[in-house]
């Protein structure tokens, strides 16, 4: 005979398992620790550290792309290592596809471009970047094209390039845009403007979000979430990207 108390305890345990908060994504802190984030709006929980010694990262609900000093890693939904490639030292730029899957990788120190497809890291031949220019952000708006923001001659430019042959299709100067910035797959650009952020949509409209301090880093945290690393006095915030507005939330501080 099963006692009622045991049934209640079992039911409560099952209920807690079903109420486990959803994983929103992850972010890279100033100490090079990749931290997972769970929860919903205004109610976040920091999960365990996924990896240490991280130089660059881009996250979604489905995966994390991680650049260490010597390797590029693909972590799956359960934060398990799915793929690993030897990579040049230094940082990397990532361009995720609109569905949050990996797409493009750029290594600034060697000016090498790669495309992630079916678990393989495939080299791309691009020659649109001049020697005196630097790539600040990349994105893949669709399966056939990539976009990049490049700093050249003291100005910023938005380039759109065909993936099949590296042909430059469009080049537009970005007036009033400053780093740090993030290029979204939908063509929008999120960039710093004093102690705040500006979202410039693909049709040129702008929306502004005030911040308590200047943003020092902008990184994908999830398909609709952006991680903001703040300059002094520091801290981390999460920006929810909605169709007609943005919502700003403070992330909890990690225990020291």
- 8 Å CB contact between 228 and 217: yes
Half-sphere CA count of 40, side-chain side, radius 13 A: 3
Is residue 229 over pLDDT 60?
Answer: yes
* Closest CA relative to residue 24, chosen from 60, 55, 48, 73: 60
Q: How many Å apart are CA 241 and CA 60, to the nearest integer?
A: 13
Rounded average pLDDT over 34-59: 91
- Tokens 């007036």 found at: 175
Query: Considering the entire predicted model, what is its pTM?
Result: 0.85
- Tokens 């409209």 found at: 205
- 8 Å CB contact between 237 and 246: no
Specify the pLDDT at position 129: 58
Percent of all residues in the chain with a pLDDT value above 70, rounded to a whole number: 88
Across the beta sheet with 93-96, what order do the strands follow?
Answer: 93-96, 102-107, 112-117, 120-124
- 8 Å CB contact between 137 and 149: yes
**CA dist list (Å): 64 to 60, 68, 155, 196:** 6, 13, 31, 27
Q: Domains of the chain (ranges plus CATH)?
A: 22-250 (2.120.10.30)
Rounded average pLDDT over 40-48: 87
Rounded average pLDDT over 111-133: 81
Confidence band, pLDDT 50/70/90 cuts, at residue 189: very high
* Closest CA relative to residue 102, chosen from 69, 66, 70, 126: 66
Confidence band, pLDDT 50/70/90 cuts, at residue 256: low
């Amino acid at each position: 005979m099963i006692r009622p108390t045991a049934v209640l305890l079992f039911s409560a345990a099952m209920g807690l398992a079903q109420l486990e908060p959803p994983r929103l994504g992850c972010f890279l802190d100033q100490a090079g620790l990749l931290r997972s984030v769970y929860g919903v709006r205004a109610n976040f929980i920091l999960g365990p550290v996924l990896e240490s010694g991280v130089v660059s990262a881009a996250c979604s609900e489905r995966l994390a792309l991680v650049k260490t000093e010597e390797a590029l890693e693909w972590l799956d939904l359960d934060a398990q290592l799915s793929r690993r490639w030897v990579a040049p030292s230094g940082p990397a730029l990532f361009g995720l596809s609109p569905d949050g899957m990996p797409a493009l990788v750029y290594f600034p120190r060697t000016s090498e471009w790669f495309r992630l497809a079916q678990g393989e890291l495939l080299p791309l031949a691009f020659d649109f970047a001049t020697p005196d220019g630097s790539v600040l952000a990349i994105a893949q708006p669709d399966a056939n094209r990539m976009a990049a923001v490049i700093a050249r001659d003291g100005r910023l430019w938005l380039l759109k390039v065909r993936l099949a042959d590296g042909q430059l299709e469009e080049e537009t100067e970005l007036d009033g845009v400053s780093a740090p910035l993030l290029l979204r797959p939908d063509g929008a650009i999120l960039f710093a403007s004093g102690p705040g952020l500006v979202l410039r949509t693909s049709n040129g409209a702008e929306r502004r979000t005030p911040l308590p301090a200047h943003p020092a880093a902008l990184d994908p945290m999830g398909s609709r979430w952006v991680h903001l690393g703040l300059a002094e006095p520091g801290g981390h915030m999460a920006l929810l990207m909605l169709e007609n507005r943005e919502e700003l939330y403070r992330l909890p501080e990690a225990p020291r």
